[in-house]
Amino acid sequence: MKKLITLLTISSILFISCQGEMGPPGRDGQDGVNILGQVFETVVSFDTSNDFEVLVEIPNQIEVFDSDVLLGYILVGVDNGVDIWEPLPQTLFLGSDSLIYGFNYTFADVVFFMDATFPLEELDSDFTQDIVFRVAVIPADIAKDINVNKIENVMNFVNIEEIIRLD
């Protein structure tokens, strides 16, 4: 029994201390491309023909992983040349009624939609036409460390310098 324990101990040490061949090299980074986060922007119009929801495909140059978070923002105005962005969902109160801009997503696309406590057909075109949205794609483990209510915080935290604009 003592020989068996000694033999097992020696063979365990040999297997643990052995080194094998080096594995294949990983993919090279892409110079100038931020792999931690990306932002794209799109302009959509809502009406009865699209049932007040618009599907937007995520650009090919952005790879979305299961562990990523997509944060949506809507352009609500411009102050002295500076864009004012609000996080989605965005609720507007119009008298006793409310209007909501929201979104949902998969790894391949984003759906922007409108909902309201009144018929959406009654809305003025200012609320439905040429609405600008931005989507930030960031890893979930980074999202917990950012104040995601301001898109500027997100872009600065993950060092996003370029916004992909869709036509």
pLDDT-derived band of residue 28, with 50, 70 and 90 as boundaries? Answer: very low
Render pLDDT for 94-123 as a digit per residue (tens, 0 to 9). Answer: 999 999 999 999 989 999 999 999 999 999
What confidence tens digit (pLDDT) does each residue in 51-87 have? 999 999 999 988 898 889 999 999 999 999 999 999 9
For 99, the enclosing helix (H) or strand (E) is strand 97-105
64 secondary structure, DSSP code: -
pTM: 0.76
Q: How far is CA 133 from CA 12, 28, 39, 77, 86, in A?
A: 59, 32, 10, 12, 10
CB burial class (10 A; 0-12, 13-18, 19+) of residue 150?
A: middle
Mean pLDDT over 31-39 rounds to: 64
67, 140 Cβ separation under 8 angstroms: yes
